[in-house]
Amino acid sequence: MNFQSYAFIFMFLPLTLLVFFFVPKHWRFLPLLLSSIIFYSLLEIKAVFLLWSVIVITFLIAKKVAQGQHRRTWFWLGITLNLAFLALFKYATFALDTLQLLTPLLPAKVDFQLLLPIGLSFYIFNAIAYLSDVYRKEIPASLDFWHFATGMSFFASLLNGPLLRQSSIAAQFKNLHFDANGFSIGAQRFMQGFCKKVLLADALAPLARECFVGTPSSANLVFGSVLYSLQLFFDFSGYSDMAIGIARMFGIYLPENFNQPYSATSLSQFWQRWHMSLSGFLKQYVYIPLGGNRYGEFRTGLNLVLTMTLGGLWHGANWTFICWGVWNGIFLLLERMFQQPFPLPKWLAIPRTLVVILLGRLFFVAPDVQTALTYFTSLFLGNTWQLSQNVLLLATPERMLVACIAILGCLPLQLKPIWIKHSRLVWLPLFWVAIAFVAARTAEPFLYYKF
């Protein structure tokens, strides 16, 4: 079950809302907690124990950190345990494979694969942020386990974020109330995200995949990078819209996660607009603790590259993501060195930023580093500037129209107040069209589920 399934839209969500509405105000967190347990259990029953282990351990250690005695020891114990969960379930196989490649003395490759729970990176980072905020005395440790557990396991944001800081979310679960206007706003936001996912991202997915099949031509790679970037944006921002909308229906405010990233005039601005909750986490809990920009230009550059490398590794246990993180870190460093002395006008700055982003997507979409290097070789040294036959067959007029609409959807268009006021008249029929498309074709999983 996921956000675009009929079971979620027509059964799970309405039933949760119905129970939430009729439960007494001071017990309204309970249907959210139970629904979150059911929701995650239906996805991965084996991973429920891990989720609750993280919640219980983080709650108990945060109380120890707040008490003051040996607080530093308790804090690092909590961070270490959470990172150990992440390392074991997400990176253990990757680490063993890498060691076996680097060390010939190790025995032959062992078939060792642990379950990778959906949403693991998100709720582990939420736990680390909470422990850090308590340690720095920015927020008090939660005294109510059930409210804390509801916030940590909330089904709207559990799998793909946005990443949450308990300082902004915890108090909301103590004072839940139903608001008709908020419900209307949330429902509209959910429909908007659903249409982004189904009508745009999913429609582009088969064509984007085909562009990278076999040994792609230069034309396939350029076309595919653009299409994949559009798919990724509308897939993930669509999920974020749905999560924010669901939460709003219950009177909960989640942070925004995207702000027209493809209109950014610099790479640093792009990362302030793309997956903003992760970018904020990396800045607050990685870049600044490393020293930020406080110790000279060399150290600042090193901190930038390290932070983006860790951000790349967060996306997956693969050298391609590490390369993608290093790619972004290096270009952020170059931008810092040359942008102030040599500023570009906006009409040049936006395409320059997009070129860096689109080239970096070749690392992001490749299954391994060798394939990524093949992509770059074909792109810059290949001489085949013709789309493959299969790509041309899939590039139907309907899909090309969707691609054009997606590109327009990335532009910073200024909507008139009358459009905003009556936008529900647009999203409601589009939502039912999207519902029909869900029944007519194979569902595409959210791309960030694998991260």
Same structural domain, 358 and 215: yes
Residues 280, 309: contact at Cβ < 8 Å? no
Q: 227 lies in a domain? A: yes
Give the torsion sign (CA, 304, 315, 161, 45).
Answer: negative
Q: Per-residue confidence at 114, pLDDT binned at 50, 70, 90?
A: low
Closest C-alpha among 54, 75, 250, 239 to residue 152: 54
Same structural domain, 205 and 168: no
Same structural domain, 213 and 189: yes
In which element (H, E) is residue 384 found? none
**Single-letter residue type at 145:** F
Q: How many separate domains does the chain show? A: 2
pLDDT mean over 210-237: 94
300 vs 424, more confident: 300
Does the structure show a pLDDT above 70 at 423? no
pLDDT given for residue 313 in this prediction: 92
Q: Tokens in use for 424?
A: 């529900």
Q: Per-residue confidence at 25, pLDDT binned at 50, 70, 90?
A: confident
Q: Per-residue confidence at 418, pLDDT binned at 50, 70, 90?
A: very low
Cα dist. 127→133, 150, 338, 433 in Å?
10, 13, 37, 39
In which element (H, E) is residue 238 found? helix 218-249
Cβ neighbors of 347 (< 8 A, separation 6 or more) are: none
**Single-letter residue type at 19:** V
pLDDT mean over 13-38: 93
Q: How far apart are CA 140 and CA 40, in angstroms?
A: 28
Tell me the pLDDT of the chain averaged across its residues.
Answer: 89
Domain housing 71:
6-178
Q: 55 lies in a domain? A: yes
363 vs 114, more confident: 363
Count other Cβ atoms within 10 Å, centred on residue 116: 17
pLDDT given for residue 64 in this prediction: 94
pLDDT given for residue 109 in this prediction: 54
Cβ neighbors of 72 (< 8 A, separation 6 or more) are: 135
Does the structure show a pLDDT above 60 at 419? no
Burial class of residue 63, CB neighbours in 10 A (0-12, 13-18, 19+)? middle
For residue 178, the SS3 value is coil
pLDDT given for residue 153 in this prediction: 92
**Single-letter residue type at 258:** F
Last residue of a domain, one of 137, 152, 178: 178
Q: How far apart are CA 156 and CA 239, in angstroms?
A: 9
Same structural domain, 152 and 194: no
Same structural domain, 89 and 187: no
Q: Tokens in use for 406?
A: 């997606």
Q: What is the pLDDT of residues 4-23, one digit of tens each?
A: 899 999 999 999 999 999 99
Does the structure show a pLDDT above 80 at 384? no
DSSP 182-204: HHHHHHHHHHHHHHIIIIIIHHH
Q: Residues of the chain with pLDDT > 70: what percent?
A: 93
Which of 107-111, 151-155, 386-390 comes out lowest in average pLDDT? 107-111
- Cα 275 to the center of its chain, rounded Å: 6
Q: 338 lies in a domain? A: no
Q: How far apart are CA 150 and CA 35, in angstroms?
A: 10
Last residue of a domain, one of 138, 162, 178: 178
263-268-274-275 Cα dihedral, nearest 10 degrees = -170
Closest C-alpha among 250, 256, 254, 253 to residue 180: 250
Same structural domain, 235 and 166: no
pLDDT mean over 127-154: 92
pLDDT given for residue 108 in this prediction: 56
Q: Tokens in use for 44?
A: 């991965």
Last residue of a domain, one of 178, 203, 229: 178
Q: How far apart are CA 207 and CA 318, in angstroms?
A: 24
HEC per residue, 98-121? HHHHHCCCCCCCCCCCCCCCCCHH
Same structural domain, 361 and 244: yes
pLDDT given for residue 414 in this prediction: 58
Q: How far apart are CA 359 and CA 367, in angstroms?
A: 15
Does the structure show a pLDDT above 90 at 324? yes
Q: 290 lies in a domain? A: no
Q: How far apart are CA 253 and CA 156, in angstroms?
A: 11
Q: 436 lies in a domain? A: yes
Same structural domain, 125 and 50: yes
Q: Per-residue confidence at 104, pLDDT binned at 50, 70, 90?
A: low
Count other Cβ atoms within 10 Å, centred on residue 334: 13
Catalytic residue numbers, as ranges:
315
Does the structure show a pLDDT above 90 at 189? yes
Residues 165, 133: contact at Cβ < 8 Å? yes
Same structural domain, 234 and 251: yes
In which element (H, E) is residue 161 found? none
Q: How far apart are CA 93 and CA 87, in angstroms?
A: 9
